[in-house]
C-alpha cells in the first residue's frame, strides 16, 4: 500500500467518523432545529473528507475539479434545503426545544 | 412517394408511422381538430393493410427489421395471416368509426377534446402490437395502447368518466405489470424475448420460473381482456365514454390483448399449456357469458347493456381454448378459425351497436332503455344496424357470427367436448335475449312529449355499414380463413 | 354462370330485391311499393313456372357457393323443392294482394312489406336448400324476418307474443344447429339426396345418429308446432291477418314440417330411419299433437286462436304421414303440405275479413255473418269442410291417402287417430258454419273498418284471395287425378324417395 | 464478503423503504419514503452494473415521479384544508 | 462591459462543462448547446452589472468558509457524541446589513454552515437565527461573514 | 486496495438507513424532510466511495446528479408537499 | 445464498408488495406509489436475471430503460386523472358507482 492510498483511506475513515457523528446527533438531538444543525454541518464535513480522500487518488485535474464541484453542489443543496426547512418550520409555529424548560 | 407502391414494398413500418404522423399533426392543431387528417390517414392505412394482406397471401409471412438491426437489440416486426386479419379489421372498423365520430362530435362538441390525436396514437400502438415479434415490444405497445385508451375514456371529464378511466388505468397497469413480470422471467430463463427464437427453446419440462412467467402473462392479459372475474373495469369504462370511444374500445382494444393470449398460447408457449388451464379458461369464459348476459339483461341504460354484452362476448372467445389445446389437428383448426371469426365479427357488430346506440342517445337525449319507444320508426337505419349487430352476437345466419359459432361447435364436437356446445348455444340465446330487450322497446310507440332530434345521416349509415359487414362476412368468410392459414 | 345455375338465385332475388328496396322507401310511396311487390311476386311465379317445365323436362337447377371449405351454400330445384316453392310463390302473390288491402292505412308499411318479402325469400330458400347447412341458414333467416312481422302492431300483447315466438324458435334452432353441426362432423357435407346419405356410416354410429335425429326433429318440431313445442303458435296469432295466414299456411310451420320431410327421406332415408327405430316415436308424437291440437281448438272462442290450434293439429298430419313407412302414407303426408296450406290460408283470410269488415274476432259474435258476407263465408265454409276431410275437397284427398297408408303400414292406431281427429275437426268447425249461416244477425256489428265499395261485402283486395284459394281447395280435390294436381306431383316425389 | 454485506444492506433498505412507503399511515411520509426508495433503487442499479439505469432512476424515478407525487399531495392537502374551513 | 461580462461567463460555463465531461472532446456538440442555454439562464437570473465579482475576495471567502465549516462540523460532532447532551438552544435576532439579492442568499447559506447557527427567517433588515448554544455570542461571527461576502461581490454594507 | 472504501460504503449505507428510519418515524413533517438532506450528502459520499471501490467513474456522474437532485427535491418538499394539518405540527420530537 | 439471486428475489418481493398495495390501498396516490414499486420490482428481476452470468447485459438494461420511461408516462397520466378526480369529488379515491360524489370518504 503506497502513501497516497494510505492517506486517502485515512481521510475516508475520518469522513465516516463525521457521518457517524451526524447520525448520532440526528438520533439524540431533541427537535427539528437542532437536528438540522447536525445534518448541515457534520455530514457536509464528512462528505468533504471523503472528497478530499478521492482527490488524492484522482486521475487528473478535470476529474478532481469535478469532485470539488460535486462537493460544492452538495453543500449548496444542503444549505438551501436547511434554510427552507427551518424557515418553514419556524413560520408554522414549531417552538424550539428549550433546555431549561425540559429540565423542569 | 406514396407508401404502398411497388417502389416501397415494405408496408409494415408505415402501418405504425402513418397514424403516428397524423396523430401528431392533429395534436399540434389543438383540441377538437384533426378529423379530416384522421380520415385521410385511415384511408391510407386501410390501403396499406389491404396491401399487406395481399402480400401475405401471395408470398407468405412478412417481416421487417426496424432500422436494419436484427434481434436482439433491434426491433423486429412480423406479420402473418392472423396479424393481417386483425390489422385489416382494425383499419376498416376505425375508418368507419372516424366517419361516425366526425358527425358525432359535431353534435357533441364538448366531448371531443383530444379524441383525434389519441385515436391516432392508439392506432399506432395497436398496429405495432399486432406486428411485434418480441414479447418486450409487445409489453411496450400494450402499455401505450392502455394509456391512450384511458385518455380517450377520460376525455369527457365528468366524475363518472374520470373515475371509470382511473379504474381502467389501474387495471391496465396491473395487467401490463404482470405481463412484464412474465417477460422478465422468460428473459431470465432463455436470454431472449423474440417469439421466433423462444418457440423452439420452450419445452414441456421448462423450469418452474417459466411456468410462473406464463401464468403471470396470462393473468395480466386476462385482466386487460376483462375476462370474467377481471371484468370489473370494463362496463364503466366502455359505458361512460362517448359513443365512438366505446365502440373503439369494445370492438378493438380488448381484442388486442385477446390476440396476444391466442398468439402466445399457440406459438411459443404451446408445450407448456395444459388441458386443465384450457378448461379453466373455458369455465371462466362460461362464467363471463352467464354473468355478462345476466347483467346485460338487468341494465337500465342502453350503453351499459352493450358494455355488459361485451363482457359476455369476451367470455365466448375464451371457449376457444379448451378446443385448441391437446385436441386433434382438425378440431383445433376448426375452433381456431371459429374463434378468429368471432373476433372479427364481434368487432364489427359491437362497433355498429355502440355507434347505433350513440345515435339513438344523441337523438333522444337520454340513455335509458325504457325511453326507447318509437325509435324503430324514427331511426330505422340505426335500429336496423343494432339488430343486425345483435344477430351477429347471437350467432344467427346469415351473419359472420353464425359461421364462427358453426366452426366452434364443429371443433367442440370434433374433440368430443359436448359440454362446450351447450355453453355456446346458450351463449347465443342469451345474446338474443338482451338484444331483443332493446328491440322490443324500440318497437313500442313513442312516449308522449318525448324530445327528438334528427341525427346526421353519416351517423346512421356508418353504423349500418359496420353491421352490414358483420352480416355479409357470413357468406364471404372463406377469404378470411385462407389468410388465417398462413402462419 | 349459366341460366340453370342462376335460376334458383333469381327465384330468391325476385322477392329479396323488392324487399330490400321497399325497406328504404318512404311511407308515402304507396304505388311504387305496390308495383314492386306485385312485380316481384309475378316474376317469381313466372320463374317457378319455367322451372316446373324444366324439371319435367329433366333439367336440373343447381347453385353452389362455398362459404368455407366443406361448407357450401347450395340451392337446387328438385321435385319436392318445386312443390313447396310453387306453393309459397302462389300464396305470396295472393297474400300480398290481401295485405295491400288489409294494411291500407296502417303505419310502417314499408317495414312490413320489406320483412314480408324477406320472409318469403327465406321460405323459398328453405324449399330449395340442397343441403342441411343451407336449410338451416334460411330457416334462421325466416325466424328473424318473421319476428318484426309478429310484433308489427307494437302493442304490448304483440310484443309479448313476438318474444314468446323468438324464445321458442331460437331455442329450437339452437338444438337444430347442434344436430346439424354434429351430422356435418360425421359426414362432411350433408346434401339432400333421395334415399338419404346417413346409412353409409355403418352401424357403430347408430347411437349417435339416433341422438342427432332427436335433435333435428326437436329443432324442427318447434316451428312445426309438435306438442309440447307448440306454445308460441297461439300467441303469434296476434300478428296482422296476412301474417298469420302466411305463418300458418306457408312460412313458419310449413318450414318445420318440410324440414322433417327432408330429414326423414333425404338425410336419413325412409328405410334407414325405419331400421333405426326412430319413426314410431315420431308417429306417436304426431298423433298426440293431432288429437291434442283438435281438443284445444274446441275450447277457443277467439276465431284466430281456434284456427291456430287447428294448425297445430293439421301440421302433424304431414308428420304422421312422413313417419309411417310406405309409399301411400308418404303421398298423403306430403300432399297435405300443399292442401293444408291452401285451406288454412283461406280460413285466415276469411278470419281477417270478418275482423276488418265487421270487427268480429270471436266465434260467439259471428252469428249471421254468412248473410252479411256471403262470399267470404262461402270460402270459409269450403275450407272448413276441407279441413274436416269432406269429399270433393283437397282435405279429403290427403286424409284418404293417409288412412290408406296407415292400413298399408299396418298401424291400426293411426287410423283411429285420424278418424278421431276428423270427428274433432267437425266438432270445432261445424258450430262456426252453423252460426254463419243459420243464426240471425245481431242488430249492429261491433265496428266497421273497411267501407264496402260498389255494393260488395268488403274491399275487393280482401275478397279475391280467399275466393281463389277456396276454389283451389275444391279444384285440388275434384281434379286430384289430373296431371297438374299437387297429388300427381307428390306421387312422382314419393316414387323417387323410395327407389333412389 | 463485504460486497455481499453491501448488497444485503441495500436490499434491506429497498424492502424497508418500499414497504414503509406502502403501509405508512401518513401520506406525506409515504411519498418521502417513496423518493428514498427511488434513490435506493439507483444504488441498486449501481450495484447491478447499470449506471445508465441509475442515472435514469435518480432523475426520472425519484426526481420527476417524486415531484409529480409531491405536487399531487400538495393539492390534496389544500383540498383537505378547504374542506375543514 | 456587458460583452466582457458575457464573455467571462461563457468561459466559466464552458470550463464547467469541461469539468463535467472530463475533457471528453466528443461531447462538445452537446456542451456548446448546454453552455449557451446556461448562459441565457444566468443572464436572466443575474443581470450583468448587479455585482462586481472579486476573484481575490472569492479565495479569501473560501478559506474563511472552509475553516469555519470545519470548526462547525467538529463542534457539532463533539456535541453529538458527548455523553451528556450539553446544548442550550434558543432564538436570536440579528440586524442585517447586506442589501437584498445574491449576497443575502450566500450569507444565509454561509450562516447555516457556521458553528451553531441556523437561519429561521429574514425580513427587510433583520435575521432570525436558531442558535445551538445561547451562551456564546453570535453577532460577531455574522458581522465577519457579512464583510467577507461584501468584499467578494463588491457590495457595500448598509451602515445603519 | 479498495476494500476499505467498500466497507466504508456499507457503513455509510447502514448510517443512512438508521438515520432514515429514525427521521421518517418522527411525528412532524419537518423531520421527514431531513431525508432529502440525508441523501444529498450521505448518498453522494456513498456513491463516490462506490465509484472508487468499483473503479467505475460513471458513478461520479450519478453522484453529481444526486447532489443536484437533493437540492431540487429539498425545494420541492418545502414548496409543495409540506402542508400537513396543524395538529401534527405542534409535536416536538 | 448467492448474490446473483439476491436482487431478483428482492424484485419479486417488491413486486408482491406493489401488487398488494395496488389492490388494497384506497388512496389513489398510494396506488400510484404501489404501481411504481411494483414496476421497480419487475425491473430488478429483469436486470438481475439478465446478468446472472456475471457480465452486465445491455439488452435487459435497454428494456428497463424503456420500461422506466413508460412507467413515468403512466404515472403522469394516473396523477393527472387523480387530480381531476380530486377536483371533481374532493377525494383521491376511486368513486364508487352510485355513491354520492360529495360524501366524505375515510381519508377526508
CB neighbour burial string for C297-306, b if at least 16 within 10 angstroms, e if fewer: beebeebbbb
Mean pLDDT computed over G100-108: 37
- The residue with greater pLDDT, F27 or A89, is A89
In this model, does residue E135 exceed pLDDT 50?
A: yes
Query: pLDDT tens across F63-87, in order?
Result: 888 888 777 777 776 666 555 444 3
In this complex, the chains that touch F, judged by 3 or more CB pairs closer than 8 A, are: A, D, E
CB B207 within 8 A of CB B191: no
Chain E contacts of A91, Cβ < 8 Å? 121
Following DSSP, what letter does each residue of B118-135 receive, concatenated? HHHHHHHHHHHHHHB-BH
- Predicted local confidence at residue G102, as pLDDT: 39
Q: What is the pLDDT of residue C60?
A: 81
Give the residue numbers in C contacting B (CB under 8 Å), as ranges.
23, 65-69, 71, 73, 107-108, 111, 133, 136-138, 140-141, 143-144, 148, 151, 154, 156, 159, 162-163, 166-167, 170-171, 173-175, 177-178, 181-182, 184-185
More confidently predicted of D43 and F26: D43
Q: Is F10 on the interface with E (CB under 8 A)?
A: no
Mean local confidence (pLDDT), A24-28: 83
* pLDDT beyond 80 at B61: yes
Q: Taking all residues of chain D, what is their mean pLDDT, rounded to a whole number?
A: 84
Nearest-angstrom CA–CA distance, F46 and E136: 35
Instruction: Tell me yes or no: is domain D2-84 CATH 1.20.120.1200.
Output: yes
Residue pairs between chains D and G whose CB atoms are closer than 8 Å: 116
| Element containing residue G28 per DSSP (H, E) | helix G28-50
**Domain chopping of chain D, boundaries:** 2-84
Instruction: Name the band, by pLDDT with cuts 50, 70 and 90, for residue B1.
Output: very low
Query: Is the predicted pLDDT of residue F92 greater than 50, yes or no?
Result: no
If one counts every other C-beta atom within 10 angstroms of the C-beta of residue C484, the result is: 10
Per-residue pLDDT at B3: 42
pLDDT value, residue E131: 81
Render chain E in DSSP notation, one character per residue. Answer: -HHHHHHHHHHHHHHHHHHHTTT-GGGHHHHHHHHHHHHHHHHHHS-TTS----HHHHHHHHHHHHHHHHHHHHHHHHHHHSSS---B-EEEEEE--SPTTHHHHHHHHHHHHSTTEEEEEE-SSEEEEEESBTTS--HHHHHHHHHHHHHHHTPPPP--
Q: Whole-number mean pLDDT of chain B?
A: 87
The tally of CA atoms less than 13 A away on the side-chain side of residue E96 is 23
Chains in contact with B, where contact requires at least 3 CB pairs less than 8 Å apart: C, G
The residue in chain A having the minimum alpha-carbon distance to the alpha carbon of residue F29 is: A89
Mean local confidence (pLDDT), C277-282: 90
- The whole-number average pLDDT for the span C61-68 is 86
Neighboring chain D residues of F84 at a CB cutoff of 8 Å: 26, 28, 77
Smallest Cα distance from D12 to chain F, Å: 9
Which residues are CB-neighbours of C57 under 8 A, at least 6 positions away? none
Q: How many Cα atoms within 13 Å fall on the side-chain side of residue G6?
A: 20
Residue C450 has pLDDT above 50, yes or no: yes
Is the CB of D32 less than 8 angstroms away from the CB of F76?
Answer: no
pLDDT tens, position by position, C372-411: 888 899 999 999 999 998 888 999 999 999 999 998 888 8
pLDDT tens profile B14-60: 899 999 999 999 888 888 788 888 999 999 999 999 999 988 888 88
| Mean pLDDT calculated for residue range C49-76 | 85
E41 assigned to some structural domain: yes
Closest CA in chain A for residue E74: A42
Q: What is the structure's pLDDT at C25?
A: 80
CA distance B159 to chain G (A): 6
Q: Is the pLDDT of residue G105 over 80?
A: no
Question: Which among C335, C265, C200, C282 is positioned nearest to C498, based on CA atoms?
Answer: C265
* DSSP string across C322-378: HHS-SHHHHHHHHHHHHHHHHHHHHHHHHHHHIIIII---BGGG-TTHHHHSHHHHH
Tally of domains in chain G: 1
What pLDDT was estimated at residue D85? 66
pLDDT surpassing 80 at residue F90? no
Question: Mean pLDDT throughout E58-67?
Answer: 83
Taking only the tens place, the pLDDT of each residue in B429-477 is 899 889 988 888 887 777 776 777 788 888 889 999 999 999 888 888 8
Average pLDDT over residues C3-27: 86
Domain ranges, residue A44: 3-91
C148 secondary structure, DSSP code: H
Listed ranges B163-177, E29-43, E113-127; the one with the highest mean pLDDT: B163-177
Split into its structural domains, chain A has a count of: 1
Lowest-pLDDT choice from A67-71, B168-172, C170-174: A67-71
Q: Is F1 on the interface with A (CB under 8 A)?
A: yes
Taking residues E141-149, report their average pLDDT: 81
Judged by CB atoms closer than 8 Å, whether chains meet at A77 and F40 is answered as yes
What is the mean predicted confidence (pLDDT) over D18-41? 87
Q: Could you tell me the residue ranges of all domains in chain C?
A: 1-276, 278-500
- Looking at residue E51, what is its pLDDT? 63
Note the pLDDT of residue E54: 72
Asked, for residue A96, whether it belongs to a domain, the answer is no
Q: What is the pLDDT of residues B338-367, one digit of tens each?
A: 999 999 999 999 999 999 999 998 888 888
Flag whether pLDDT at A92 surpasses 90: no
Give yes or no for residue F89 having a pLDDT over 80.
no
Contacts of D51 (CB under 8 A, 6+ apart): D45, F56, F58, F59, F61, F62
Cell of E68: 469555519
Categorize the per-residue pLDDT at C474 as very low, low, confident or very high, splitting at 50, 70 and 90. Answer: very high
Least confidently predicted of A87-91, B271-275, C13-17, C185-189: A87-91
The residues in D 13-72 lying below 8 A from G, measured between CB atoms, are 14-15, 18-19, 21-22, 27, 30-31, 34, 37-38, 41, 44-45, 47-50, 52-53, 56-57, 60-61, 64-65, 68-69, 71-72
Domain hosting E16: range is 2-45
Place of cell 408537499: F81
- Distance of alpha carbon B291 from its chain centroid, rounded? 20
Decide if C260 contacts C127 (C-beta within 8 A): no
* High-pLDDT (> 70) share of chain C, %: 97
- Residues C195-250 pLDDT 10s: 888 888 878 888 889 999 999 999 999 988 888 888 888 888 888 888 888 877 77
Position D17 pLDDT exceeds 80? yes
Which residue in the block uniquely carries the three cell numbers 356446445?
B421
pLDDT at B127 over 90: yes
Q: Within a 10 A sphere around the Cβ of A1, how many other Cβ atoms?
A: 8
pLDDT, average across residues A37-50: 84
Query: Is 80 exceeded by the pLDDT of residue C11?
Result: yes
User: Cβ–Cβ of G97/B73 closer than 8 Å?
Assistant: no
Q: Which chain F residues are within 8 Å of E20, Cβ to Cβ?
A: 61, 64
Whether E62 and E121 map to the same domain: the answer is yes
Nearest CA in chain A to E110: A79
Interface test with B, best of C66, C113, C135, C144 (most B CBs within 10 A): C144
Give the mean pLDDT of E126-131: 81
In 3-state terms, chain A is what percent helix, strand and coil (to 5)? 85, 0, 15
- Nearest CB among B163, B173, B188 relative to G74 is that of B173
Q: What is the pLDDT of residue A102?
A: 52
Question: Does the pLDDT at position C364 exceed 70?
Answer: yes
Q: Strand B76-79 relative to strand C62-68: parallel, antiparallel, unpaired?
A: unpaired
Touching partners of C (3+ C-beta pairs < 8 Å): B
| Pick from B304-313, E25-34, G24-33, G78-87: least confident | E25-34
Across the interface, whether the CB atoms of E80 and A22 are under 8 A apart is answered yes
Query: How many Å from the N-terminal Cα to the C-terminal Cα in chain E?
Result: 32
Instruction: Kindly indicate the confidence band of residue E158, based on its pLDDT and cuts at 50, 70 and 90.
Output: low
pLDDT of residue G93: 81
**G25: containing domain:** 3-89
Of F54, D10, B322, nearest in space to G7 by CA: D10
> Per-residue confidence at C1, pLDDT binned at 50, 70, 90?
low
Per the CB < 8 Å rule, is B337 touching C184? no
d(CA C430, CA C313): 17
For residue A70, tell me if it sits in a domain: yes
- Partners of F61 on chain E (C-beta within 8 Å) are 20
Min Cα distance D2 → chain F (Å) is 6
CB pairs under 8 A between B and G: 104
How much is the pLDDT for G92? 81
Do B166 and G19 lie within an 8 Å CB cutoff? no
Does C452 score more than 70 pLDDT?
no
* Shortest alpha-carbon distance between residue F84 and chain D (Å): 7
Amino acid at each position: 500500500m503506497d502513501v497516497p492510498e494510505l492517506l486517502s483511506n485515512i481521510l475516508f475513515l475520518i469522513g465516516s467518523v463525521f457521518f457517524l457523528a451526524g447520525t448520532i446527533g440526528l438520533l439524540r438531538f431533541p427537535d427539528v432545529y437542532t437536528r438540522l444543525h447536525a445534518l448541515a454541518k457534520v455530514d457536509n464535513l464528512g462528505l468533504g473528507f471523503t472528497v478530499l480522500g478521492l482527490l488524492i487518488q484522482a486521475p487528473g485535474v478535470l476529474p478532481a475539479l469535478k469532485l470539488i464541484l460535486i462537493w460544492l453542489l452538495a453543500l449548496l443543496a444542503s444549505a438551501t434545503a436547511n434554510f427552507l426547512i427551518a424557515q418553514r418550520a419556524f413560520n408554522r409555529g414549531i417552538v424550539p426545544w428549550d433546555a431549561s424548560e425540559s429540565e423542569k | 412517394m406514396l407508401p404502398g407502391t411497388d417502389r416501397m414494398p415494405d408496408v409494415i413500418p408505415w402501418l405504425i408511422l402513418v397514424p403516428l404522423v397524423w396523430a401528431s399533426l392533429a395534436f399540434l392543431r389543438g383540441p377538437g381538430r384533426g378529423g379530416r387528417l384522421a380520415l385521410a390517414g385511415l384511408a391510407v392505412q386501410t390501403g396499406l393493410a389491404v396491401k399487406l394482406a395481399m402480400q401475405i397471401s401471395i408470398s407468405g409471412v412478412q417481416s421487417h427489421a426496424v432500422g436494419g438491426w436484427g434481434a436482439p437489440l433491434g426491433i423486429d416486426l412480423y406479420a402473418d395471416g392472423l396479424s393481417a386479419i386483425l390489422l385489416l379489421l382494425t383499419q376498416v372498423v376505425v375508418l368507419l368509426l372516424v366517419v361516425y365520430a366526425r358527425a358525432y362530435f359535431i353534435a357533441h362538441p364538448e366531448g371531443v377534446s383530444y379524441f383525434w390525436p389519441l385515436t391516432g396514437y392508439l392506432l399506432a400502438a395497436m398496429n405495432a402490437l399486432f406486428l411485434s415479434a418480441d414479447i418486450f415490444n409487445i409489453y411496450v405497445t400494450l402499455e401505450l395502447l392502455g394509456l391512450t385508451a384511458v385518455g380517450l375514456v377520460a376525455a369527457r371529464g365528468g366524475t363518472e368518466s374520470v373515475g371509470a378511466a382511473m379504474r381502467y388505468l389501474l387495471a391496465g397497469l396491473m395487467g401490463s405489470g404482470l405481463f412484464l413480470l412474465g417477460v422478465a422471467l422468460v428473459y431470465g430463463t432463455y436470454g431472449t424475448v423474440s417469439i421466433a427464437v423462444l418457440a423452439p427453446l420452450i419445452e414441456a419440462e421448462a423450469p418452474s420460473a417459466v411456468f410462473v412467467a406464463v401464468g403471470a402473462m396470462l393473468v395480466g392479459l386476462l385482466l386487460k381482456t376483462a375476462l370474467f372475474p377481471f371484468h370489473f373495469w370494463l362496463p364503466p369504462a366502455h359505458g361512460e365514454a362517448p359513443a365512438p370511444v366505446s365502440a373503439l374500445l369494445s370492438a378493438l382494444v380488448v381484442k388486442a390483448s385477446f390476440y396476444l393470449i391466442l398468439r402466445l398460447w399457440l406459438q411459443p408457449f404451446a408445450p407448456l399449456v395444459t388441458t386443465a388451464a384450457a378448461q379453466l379458461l373455458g369455465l371462466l369464459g362460461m362464467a363471463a357469458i352467464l354473468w355478462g348476459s345476466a347483467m346485460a339483461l338487468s341494465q337500465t341504460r342502453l350503453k351499459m347493456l352493450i358494455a355488459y354484452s361485451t363482457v359476455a362476448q369476451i367470455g365466448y372467445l375464451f371457449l376457444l381454448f379448451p378446443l385448441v389445446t391437446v385436441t386433434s389437428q382438425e378440431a383445433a383448426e376448426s375452433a381456431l378459425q371459429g374463434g378468429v371469426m368471432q373476433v372479427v365479427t364481434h368487432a364489427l357488430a359491437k362497433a355498429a351497436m355502440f355507434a347505433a346506440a350513440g345515435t339513438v342517445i344523441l337523438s333522444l337525449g337520454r340513455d335509458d332503455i325504457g325511453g326507447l319507444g318509437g325509435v324503430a320508426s324514427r331511426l330505422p337505419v340505426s335500429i336496423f344496424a343494432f339488430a343486425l349487430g345483435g344477430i351477429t352476437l347471437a350467432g344467427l345466419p346469415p351473419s359472420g357470427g353464425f359461421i364462427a359459432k358453426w366452426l366452434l361447435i364443429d371443433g367442440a364436437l370434433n374433440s368430443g367436448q359436448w359440454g362446450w356446445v351447450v355453453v355456446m348455444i346458450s351463449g347465443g340465446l342469451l345474446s338474443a335475449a338482451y338484444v331483443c330487450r332493446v328491440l322490443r322497446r324500440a318497437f313500442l310507440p313513442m312516449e308522449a312529449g318525448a324530445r327528438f332530434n334528427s341525427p346526421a345521416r353519416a351517423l346512421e349509415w356508418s353504423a349500418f355499414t359496420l353491421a352490414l359487414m358483420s352480416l355479409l362476412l357470413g357468406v364471404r368468410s372463406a377469404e378470411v380463413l385462407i389468410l388465417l392459414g398462413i402462419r | 354462370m349459366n341460366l340453370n345455375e342462376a335460376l334458383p338465385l333469381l327465384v330468391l332475388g325476385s322477392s329479396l330485391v323488392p324487399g330490400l328496396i321497399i325497406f328504404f322507401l318512404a311511407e308515402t310511396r304507396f304505388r311504387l311499393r305496390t308495383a314492386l311487390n306485385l312485380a316481384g311476386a309475378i316474376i317469381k311465379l313466372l320463374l317457378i313456372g319455367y322451372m316446373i317445365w324444366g324439371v319435367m323436362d329433366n333439367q336440373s337447377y343447381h347453385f353452389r357457393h362455398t362459404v368455407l371449405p366443406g361448407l357450401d351454400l347450395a340451392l337446387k330445384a328438385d321435385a319436392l323443392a318445386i312443390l313447396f316453392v310453387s306453393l309459397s310463390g302462389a300464396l305470396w302473390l295472393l297474400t300480398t294482394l290481401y295485405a295491400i288491402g288489409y294494411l291500407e292505412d296502417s303505419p310502417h308499411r314499408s317495414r312490413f312489406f320489406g320483412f314480408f318479402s324477406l320472409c318469403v325469400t327465406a321460405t323459398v330458400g328453405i324449399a330449395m336448400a340442397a343441403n342441411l347447412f343451407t336449410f338451416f341458414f334460411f330457416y334462421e333467416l325466416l325466424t328473424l324476418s318473421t319476428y318484426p312481422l309478429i310484433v308489427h302492431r307494437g302493442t304490448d300483447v304483440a310484443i309479448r307474443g313476438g318474444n314468446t315466438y323468438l324464445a321458442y324458435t331460437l331455442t329450437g334452432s339452437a338444438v337444430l344447429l347442434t344436430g346439424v353441426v354434429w351430422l356435418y362432423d360425421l359426414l362432411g357435407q350433408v346434401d339432400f339426396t333421395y334415399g338419404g346419405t346417413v346409412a353409409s356410416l355403418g352401424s357403430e354410429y347408430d347411437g349417435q345418429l339416433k341422438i342427432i335425429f332427436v335433435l333435428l326433429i326437436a329443432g324442427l318440431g318447434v316451428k312445426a308446432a309438435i306438442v309440447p313445442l307448440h306454445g308460441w303458435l297461439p300467441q303469434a296469432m296476434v300478428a296482422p291477418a296476412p301474417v298469420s295466414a302466411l305463418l300458418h299456411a306457408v312460412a313458419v310451420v310449413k318450414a318445420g314440417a318440410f324440414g322433417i320431410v327432408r330429414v326423414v327421406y333425404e338425410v336419413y332415408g325412409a328405410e334407414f330411419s325405419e331400421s333405426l327405430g326412430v319413426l314410431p316415436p315420431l308417429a306417436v308424437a304426431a298423433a298426440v299433437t293431432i288429437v291434442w291440437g283438435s281438443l284445444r281448438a274446441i275450447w277457443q272462442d277467439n276465431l284466430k286462436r281456434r284456427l291456430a290450434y287447428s294448425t297445430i293439429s293439421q301440421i302433424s298430419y304431414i308428420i304422421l304421414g312422413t313417419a309411417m313407412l310406405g309409399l301411400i302414407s308418404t303421398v298423403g303426408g306430403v300432399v297435405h303440405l300443399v292442401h293444408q296450406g291452401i285451406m288454412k290460408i283461406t280460413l285466415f283470410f276469411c278470419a281477417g275479413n270478418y275482423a276488418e269488415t265487421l270487427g268480429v274476432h270471436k266465434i260467439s259474435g259471428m252469428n249471421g255473418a254468412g248473410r252479411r258476407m256471403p262470399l267470404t263465408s262461402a270460402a270459409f265454409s269450403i275450407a272448413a269442410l276441407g279441413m274436416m276431410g269432406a269429399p270433393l275437397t283437397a282435405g279429403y284427398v290427403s286424409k284418404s291417402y293417409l288412412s290408406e297408408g296407415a292400413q298399408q303400414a299396418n298401424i291400426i292406431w293411426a287410423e283411429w287417430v285420424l278418424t278421431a281427429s276428423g270427428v274433432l275437426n267437425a266438432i270445432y268447425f261445424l258450430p262456426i258454419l252453423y252460426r254463419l249461416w243459420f243464426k240471425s244477425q245481431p242488430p249492429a256489428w261491433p265496428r266497421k273498418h273497411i267501407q264496402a265499395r260498389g255494393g260488395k261485402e268488403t274491399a275487393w283486395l280482401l275478397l279475391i284471395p280467399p275466393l281463389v284459394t277456396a276454389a283451389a281447395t275444391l279444384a285440388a280435390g275434384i281434379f286430384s287425378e289430373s296431371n297438374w294436381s299437387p297429388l300427381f306431383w307428390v306421387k312422382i316425389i314419393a316414387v323417387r324417395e323410395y327407389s333412389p | 464478503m463485504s460486497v455481499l454485506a453491501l448488497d444485503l444492506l441495500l436490499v434491506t433498505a429497498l424492502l424497508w423503504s418500499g414497504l414503509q412507503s406502502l403501509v405508512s399511515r401518513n401520506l406525506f411520509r409515504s411519498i418521502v419514503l417513496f423518493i428514498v426508495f427511488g434513490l435506493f433503487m439507483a444504488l441498486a442499479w449501481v450495484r447491478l452494473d447499470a449506471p445508465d439505469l441509475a442515472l435514469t432512476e435518480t432523475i426520472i424515478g425519484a426526481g420527476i415521479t417524486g415531484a409529480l407525487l409531491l405536487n399531487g399531495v400538495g393539492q390534496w392537502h389544500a383540498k383537505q384544508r378547504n374542506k375543514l374551513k | 462591459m456587458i460583452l466582457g461580462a458575457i464573455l467571462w461567463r461563457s468561459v466559466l460555463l464552458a470550463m464547467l462543462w469541461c469539468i463535467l465531461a472530463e475533457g471528453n472532446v466528443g461531447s462538445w456538440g452537446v456542451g456548446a448547446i448546454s453552455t449557451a442555454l446556461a448562459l441565457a439562464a444566468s443572464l436572466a437570473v443575474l443581470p450583468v452589472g448587479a455585482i462586481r465579482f472579486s476573484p481575490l475576495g472569492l479565495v479569501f471567502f473560501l478559506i474563511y468558509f472552509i475553516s469555519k465549516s470545519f470548526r462547525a462540523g467538529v463542534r457539532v460532532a463533539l456535541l453529538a457524541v458527548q455523553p451528556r447532551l450539553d446544548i442550550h438552544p434558543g432564538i436570536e435576532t440579528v440586524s442585517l446589513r447586506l442589501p437584498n439579492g445574491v449576497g443575502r442568499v450566500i450569507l444565509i447559506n454561509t450562516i447555516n454552515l457556521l458553528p451553531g447557527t441556523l437561519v429561521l427567517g429574514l425580513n427587510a433588515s433583520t435575521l432570525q437565527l436558531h442558535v445551538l448554544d445561547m451562551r456564546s455570542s453570535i453577532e460577531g461571527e455574522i458581522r465577519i461573514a457579512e464583510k467577507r461576502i461584501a468584499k467578494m461581490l463588491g457590495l457595500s454594507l448598509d451602515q445603519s | 486496495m479498495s476494500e476499505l472504501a467498500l466497507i466504508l460504503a456499507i457503513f455509510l449505507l447502514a448510517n443512512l438507513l438508521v438515520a432514515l428510519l429514525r427521521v421518517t418515524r418522527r411525528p412532524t413533517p419537518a423531520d421527514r424532510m431531513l431525508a432529502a438532506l440525508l441523501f444529498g450528502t450521505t448518498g453522494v459520499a456513498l456513491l463516490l466511495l462506490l465509484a472508487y471501490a468499483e473503479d467505475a467513474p460513471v458513478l461520479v456522474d450519478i453522484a453529481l446528479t444526486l447532489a443536484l437532485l437533493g437540492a431540487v427535491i429539498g425545494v420541492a418538499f418545502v414548496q409543495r408537499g409540506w402542508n400537513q394539518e396543524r395538529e401534527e405540527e405542534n409535536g416536538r420530537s | 445464498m448467492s448474490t446473483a439471486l439476491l436482487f431478483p428475489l428482492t424484485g419479486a418481493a417488491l413486486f408482491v408488495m406493489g401488487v398488494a398495495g395496488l389492490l388494497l390501498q384506497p388512496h389513489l396516490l398510494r396506488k400510484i406509489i404501489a404501481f411504481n414499486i411494483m414496476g421497480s420490482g419487475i425491473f430488478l428481476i429483469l436486470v438481475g436475471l439478465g446478468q446472472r452470468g456475471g457480465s452486465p447485459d445491455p439488452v435487459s438494461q435497454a428494456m428497463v430503460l424503456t420500461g422506466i420511461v413508460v412507467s413515468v408516462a403512466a404515472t403522469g397520466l394516473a396523477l393527472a386523472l387523480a387530480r381531476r378526480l380530486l377536483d371533481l369529488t374532493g377525494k383521491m379515491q376511486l368513486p364508487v358507482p352510485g355513491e354520492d360524489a360529495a360524501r366524505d370518504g375515510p381519508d377526508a
